[in-house]
């Protein structure tokens, strides 16, 4: 969706009121606009700027919709997903006619797609590791060889040039092909699973750029990880497989159509997100818990089973790939990829001083995590001003960040002193391969501990920090590395490359954790490597505010079950401390992007309002048998996606709510041109003409559009029966229900429309429709700016 499309606004013919694009019916805002300005259209941004919070400091936004978000660097309109089962006559007939064989096909296909998601995500994870290790390994070995020859300037030139080429490749892919692939991708997946359909976030082009952009960005030396992008990658793979077939590629088997709905696609994308975590960390159980705790808004036991199966497939694929690569057939790929840190505790006991140290780490993690989130918020708002200027500026920003990162990685190790090699190591300093003891500028038999962290892949740097206390790091080295990674991680996130937050946070947390362990020294029974692990856990808890999933992921990463109580304690403390300052980083990014995310709880001020306070008429509704011209006119002048259908005499004794009809279904019905000249019921003829799969939801961007209709002037005066496609059992609430209760119901049921009916008889059968927009704080506080002052 481009900016020109966003700015195309249509007007009602009767009163020339400007219509908000979106999925909702006229609100109190539009009613107040008409009362105040009559037939003149106000400058909505100027008069009601307080109603709509501009995400990410967009200063030149010309879009006037009330439901917008930033995808990549583009402002686009947002729609909700249709998770509700539309129980119309065609749907009921389809289910009644399904045989046992067809039901078995549906169940079999569910598990087959889960298997394919696991295989695809596992293979992509293997490919990512293979590519990163070989690209980064070539760059580091070239730099190391030049330094051994005392060609320090050439070594820096080679190192910075390699980083620059990889950075430009990653940013060009993001800036010009798929802007939605920039960043982590977890906030977008989280919003999608909450019911938000944002443009192109799961498109094939986004998948392509996410894979290769992540490889180039991580191999290019940026302080980013490939773990967040892997979650987005898994979700994109699941979305691609769940399209329900494709006419373009002649994948039109009948049983593929079962997945042409948002409910099944949501389940598949949940499996994909879990598979992404499993592929990134080799943590299958952690992947399931991540999807449960952080990604998915709706969960059930059947989905748990299928998600667990998907991550198990990923684990098998990764294990097979590791066995294959151990024979040396994967180039420089070795222990560096498919991370497993194997930090085994030599001392399983701990006493009171150790617990006090763990509590200290938890408090530090909460403080540093909240600070990290605060600065990420500020940096993202600053970068949005640069990114909105166009792709060229995005690439230039990435180039500047690449130069800065290269200068820090190559320059800071010169501040560190040389340390003698441990006698237990057979290859120190390591030459000609990836290793933990970088020679840098040191004489033979010595190594540079800071270079061992900076001039290394992220996985190897984490291994160094989590290694047992036999490997020494100077206190100044750990402090410099923590400060550099903390700052670089903040200013790198937000540039136009796929970038995950897990690895920068683990690096920074492990560095200050090991620093605390080194300072305490003999006062604690815990090893310095275990302090590093607890530091990483504390920082992860302070930034991401997850507990159970992070705990399991870390235990699967390190293979150290004995640390379970301490990891649980440090995560709980860091999350508690950080929650007193701000929200988790993913929650902040969702809000900054303007994605209308529904929280699991209602805001306190919603208890002071009822449903009728935020919906108002007149509604755009249809009769059970409606004139074609009226339907076409309403579709042209509004962007609503749901319309009430009201039966009136002679089809009913009095006006009554028949149900709700979707915009996409109306377009299909009008395209079929099953019209009559008289206002009569023709439901049987329509059910013979159409099948339920004709109204199934097409893949992203492939649905029928208003421009595809060709209605003649004669047909405009004809009638069409809406009963066969009307959802006769929409969710309804009485107008006196509290907005807080309605919000909880709306989210728990995964709705797109909630009909509000009158409390008393003798009134029109429907008061209004609640949609996601009506529960957004910006909308409610715009209508009632003083409501948040009530206690």
Can you give the three-state secondary structure of 218-232, one letter per residue? Answer: HHCCCCCECHHHHHH
Per residue in 479-535, pLDDT tens? Answer: 999 999 999 999 999 899 999 999 999 999 999 999 998 888 777 778 888 899 999
The whole-number pLDDT of residue 14 equals 35
Residue 614 CA: distances (Å) to CA of 141, 275, 291, 608, 776? 63, 40, 33, 12, 11
**Measured distance CA(205)–CA(187) in Å, rounded:** 18
Q: What is the mean pLDDT of residues 331-350?
A: 60
Residue 541 CA: distances (Å) to CA of 368, 376, 423, 552? 10, 16, 37, 13
Which residues are CB-contacts of 108 (< 8 A; sequence separation ≥ 6)? none
3-state secondary structure of 335: coil
The whole-number pLDDT of residue 469 equals 64
Task: Single out the residue of 493, 491, 496, 494 nearest to residue 391, CA to CA.
Answer: 496
Q: How confident is the model at residue 617 (pLDDT cuts 50, 70, 90)?
A: low
The whole-number pLDDT of residue 79 equals 83
Percentage, residues of the chain above pLDDT 70: 83
**Measured distance CA(780)–CA(747) in Å, rounded:** 17
Per residue in 386-413, pLDDT tens? Answer: 888 889 999 999 999 999 999 999 999 9
Enumerate the domain spans of the chain. 100-327, 352-593, 604-783
CA atoms within 13 A on the CB side of 540: 25
Widest pairwise Cα distance in the chain: 98
**Measured distance CA(30)–CA(36) in Å, rounded:** 10
Per residue in 533-553, pLDDT tens? Answer: 999 999 999 999 999 999 999
State the DSSP code for 242. T
The two structure tokens encoding residue 28: 């109190």
Which residues are CB-contacts of 744 (< 8 A; sequence separation ≥ 6)? 600, 601, 602
Which residues are CB-contacts of 638 (< 8 A; sequence separation ≥ 6)? 19, 620
Task: Please spell the DSSP secondary structure of 113-130, one letter per residue.
Answer: HHHHHHHHHHHHHHHHHH
How much is the mean pLDDT over the chain?
83
The whole-number pLDDT of residue 710 equals 86
Check whether 215 has a pLDDT greater than 50: yes
CA atoms within 13 A on the CB side of 581: 21
Q: What is the mean pLDDT of residues 347-372?
A: 87
Pairing of strands 622-623, 642-647: parallel
**Measured distance CA(577)–CA(587) in Å, rounded:** 17
The whole-number pLDDT of residue 252 equals 62
Q: Is 738 left (phi over 0), alpha (psi -120 to 50) or beta?
A: beta
3-state secondary structure of 103: helix
Token pair 């499309």 is found at 5
Check whether 86 has a pLDDT greater than 80: yes
Quick one: which H or E segment has residue 770?
strand 768-770
Spatial contact of 369 and 543, defined as CB atoms under 8 Å apart:
yes
Q: What is the mean pLDDT of residues 689-701?
A: 78
Which residues are CB-contacts of 768 (< 8 A; sequence separation ≥ 6)? 25, 611, 612, 615, 616, 617, 619, 756
Q: What is the mean pLDDT of residues 365-371?
A: 96
Task: Single out the residue of 427, 429, 453 nearest to residue 442, CA to CA.
Answer: 429
* Choice among 92-106, 208-222, 734-748 with the minimum mean pLDDT: 92-106
The whole-number pLDDT of residue 21 equals 33
Convert 216-252 to b/e letters by CB count within 10 Å (16 or more is b).
bbbbbbbbbbbbbbbbbbbbbbbbbbbbbbeeeeeee
The two structure tokens encoding residue 357: 């140290």
CB atoms inside a 10 Å sphere around CB 417? 12
The whole-number pLDDT of residue 233 equals 96
**Measured distance CA(5)–CA(559) in Å, rounded:** 52
Task: Single out the residue of 612, 611, 633, 607 nearest to residue 622, CA to CA.
Answer: 633
**Measured distance CA(575)–CA(294) in Å, rounded:** 14
Pairing of strands 625-627, 719-721: antiparallel
Pick the CATH number of 604-783 from 3.40.50.1100, 3.40.50.2300, 3.10.20.90, 3.10.580.10: 3.10.580.10
The radius of gyration of the chain's CA atoms, rounded to the nearest angstrom, is 29
Spatial contact of 756 and 731, defined as CB atoms under 8 Å apart:
no
Q: How confident is the model at residue 62 (pLDDT cuts 50, 70, 90)?
A: very low
Q: How confident is the model at residue 696 (pLDDT cuts 50, 70, 90)?
A: confident
Which residues are CB-contacts of 450 (< 8 A; sequence separation ≥ 6)? 412, 413, 415, 416, 477, 480, 481
The whole-number pLDDT of residue 51 equals 34
Spatial contact of 539 and 373, defined as CB atoms under 8 Å apart:
no
Q: What sign for the dihedral angle of Cα 602, 603, 608, 614?
A: negative
Check whether 325 has a pLDDT greater than 50: yes
Q: What is the mean pLDDT of residues 52-79?
A: 54
The two structure tokens encoding residue 758: 């009158």
- Helical spans, DSSP H, in 423-499: 451-454, 458-466, 475-492
Q: Which residue has the higher pLDDT, 72 or 740?
A: 740
Architecture of the domain delimited by 352-593? Orthogonal Bundle (1.10)
Backbone angles phi, psi at 711, to 5 degrees: -105, 125
The reply to whether domains 352-593 and 604-783 share a CATH topology is no
State the DSSP code for 430. -
Per residue in 581-613, pLDDT tens? Answer: 999 999 999 988 888 899 988 888 899 899 989
* Burial label, 617 (beta-carbon count in 10 A; 0-12, 13-18, 19+): middle
Pairing of strands 768-770, 754-757: antiparallel
Q: Which residue has the higher pLDDT, 306 or 259?
A: 306
The two structure tokens encoding residue 675: 């019209």
**Measured distance CA(327)–CA(329) in Å, rounded:** 6
**Measured distance CA(172)–CA(178) in Å, rounded:** 9
Token pair 């815990």 is found at 526
The whole-number pLDDT of residue 497 equals 94
Task: Single out the residue of 335, 431, 401 nearest to residue 143, CA to CA.
Answer: 431
The two structure tokens encoding residue 418: 């040389």
Which residues are CB-contacts of 463 (< 8 A; sequence separation ≥ 6)? 335, 341, 436
CB atoms inside a 10 Å sphere around CB 576? 16
Domain 100-327 class in CATH: mainly alpha
**Measured distance CA(549)–CA(290) in Å, rounded:** 5
Per residue in 420-448, pLDDT tens? Answer: 777 655 567 666 555 667 777 788 777 88
Spatial contact of 644 and 619, defined as CB atoms under 8 Å apart:
yes
Per residue in 94-152, pLDDT tens? Answer: 888 888 888 888 899 999 999 999 999 999 999 998 899 889 988 988 888 888 888 88
Check whether 27 has a pLDDT greater than 80: no
Q: Rounded to two decimals, what is the model's pTM?
A: 0.87
SS3 content of the chain, % helix, strand, coil (to 5): 55, 10, 35
């Amino acid at each position: 969706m481009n900016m020109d499309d966003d700015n195309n606004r249509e007007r009602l013919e009767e009163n020339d009121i400007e219509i908000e694009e979106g999925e909702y019916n006229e609100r109190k805002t539009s009613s107040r606009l008409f009362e105040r300005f009559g037939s003149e259209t106000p400058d909505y941004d100027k008069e009601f700027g307080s109603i709509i919070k501009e995400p990410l400091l967009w200063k030149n936004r010309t879009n006037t919709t009330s439901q917008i978000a930033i995808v990549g660097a583009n402002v686009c309109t947002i729609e909700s997903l249709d998770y509700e089962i539309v129980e119309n006559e065609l749907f009921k007939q389809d289910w009644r006619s399904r045989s046992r064989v067809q039901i078995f096909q549906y169940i079999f296909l569910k598990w087959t797609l889960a298997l394919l998601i696991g295989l695809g995500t596992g293979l992509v994870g293997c490919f990512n590791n293979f590519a990163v290790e070989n690209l980064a390994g070539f760059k580091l070995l070239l730099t190391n060889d030049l330094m051994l020859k005392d060609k320090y300037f050439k070594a820096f030139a080679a190192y910075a040039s390699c980083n620059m080429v990889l950075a430009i490749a990653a940013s060009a892919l993001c800036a010009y092909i798929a802007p939605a692939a920039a960043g982590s991708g977890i906030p977008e997946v989280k919003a999608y699973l909450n019911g938000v359909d944002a443009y192109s976030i799961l498109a094939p082009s986004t998948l392509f750029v996410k894979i290769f952009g992540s490889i180039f960005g991580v191999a290019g030396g940026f302080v980013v990880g490939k773990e967040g992008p892997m979650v987005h990658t898994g979700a994109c793979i699941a979305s691609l497989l769940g399209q329900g077939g494709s006419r373009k590629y002649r994948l039109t088997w009948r049983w593929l159509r079962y997945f042409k709905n948002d409910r099944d696609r949501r389940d598949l994308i949940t499996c994909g997100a879990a598979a992404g975590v499993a592929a990134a960390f080799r943590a299958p159980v952690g992947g399931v818990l991540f999807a449960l705790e952080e990604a998915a808004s709706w969960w059930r036991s059947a989905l748990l089973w299928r998600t667990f199966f998907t991550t198990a497939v990923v684990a098998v694929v990764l294990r097979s790939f590791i066995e294959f690569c151990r024979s040396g057939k994967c180039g420089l790929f070795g222990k560096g990829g498919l991370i497993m840190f194997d930090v085994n505790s030599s001392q399983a006991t701990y006493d009171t001083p150790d617990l006090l140290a763990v509590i200290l780490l938890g408090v530090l993690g909460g403080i540093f995590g909240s600070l990290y989130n605060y600065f990420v918020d500020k940096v993202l708002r600053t970068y949005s001003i640069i990114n909105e200027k166009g792709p060229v500026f995005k690439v230039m920003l990435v180039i500047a960040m690449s130069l800065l990162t290269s200068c820090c990685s190559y320059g800071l190790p010169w501040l560190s002193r040389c340390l003698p090699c441990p006698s237990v190591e057979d290859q120190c300093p390591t030459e000609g391969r990836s290793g933990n003891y970088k020679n840098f500028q040191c004489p033979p038999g010595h190594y540079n501990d800071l270079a061992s962290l900076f001039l290394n892949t992220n996985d190897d740097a984490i291994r160094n920090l989590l290694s047992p206390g036999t490997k020494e790091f100077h206190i100044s080295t750990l402090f410099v590395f923590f400060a550099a990674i903390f700052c670089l991680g903040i200013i790198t996130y937000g540039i136009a490359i796929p970038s995950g937050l897990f690895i920068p946070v683990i690096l920074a947390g492990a560095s200050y954790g090991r620093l605390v362990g080194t300072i305490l020294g003999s006062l604690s029974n815990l090893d310095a490597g275990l302090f590093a692990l607890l530091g990483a856990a504390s920082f992860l808890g302070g930034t991401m505010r997850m507990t159970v999933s992070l705990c399991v992921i870390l235990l699967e990463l390190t293979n150290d079950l004995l640390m379970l109580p301490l990891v649980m304690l440090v995560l709980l403390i860091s999350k508690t401390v950080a929650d007193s300052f701000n929200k988790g980083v993913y929650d902040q990014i969702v809000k900054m992007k303007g994605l209308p995310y529904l929280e699991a709880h209602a805001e306190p001020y919603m208890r002071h309002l009822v449903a009728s306070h935020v919906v108002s008429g007149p509604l755009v509704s249809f009769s059970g048998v409606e004139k074609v011209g009226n339907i076409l006119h309403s579709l042209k002048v509004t962007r609503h996606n749901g319309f009430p259908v009201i039966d009136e005499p002679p089809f009913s004794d009095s006006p009554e709510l028949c149900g709700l009809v979707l915009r996409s279904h109306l377009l299909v019905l009008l395209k079929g041109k099953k019209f009559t000249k008289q206002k009569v019921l023709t439901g049987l003829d329509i059910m013979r003409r159409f099948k339920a799969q004709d109204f199934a939801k097409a893949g992203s961007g492939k649905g029928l559009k208003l421009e595809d209709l060709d209605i003649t002037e004669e047909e405009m005066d004809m009638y069409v029966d809406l009963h066969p496609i009307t959802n006769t059992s929409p969710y309804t609430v009485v107008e006196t229900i509290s907005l807080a209760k309605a919000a909880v119901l709306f989210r728990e049921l995964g709705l797109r429309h909630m009909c509000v009916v009158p409390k008393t008889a003798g009134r029109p059968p429907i008061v209004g429709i609640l949609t996601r927009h009506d529960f957004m704080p910006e909308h409610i506080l715009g209508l009632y700016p003083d409501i948040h002052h009530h206690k």
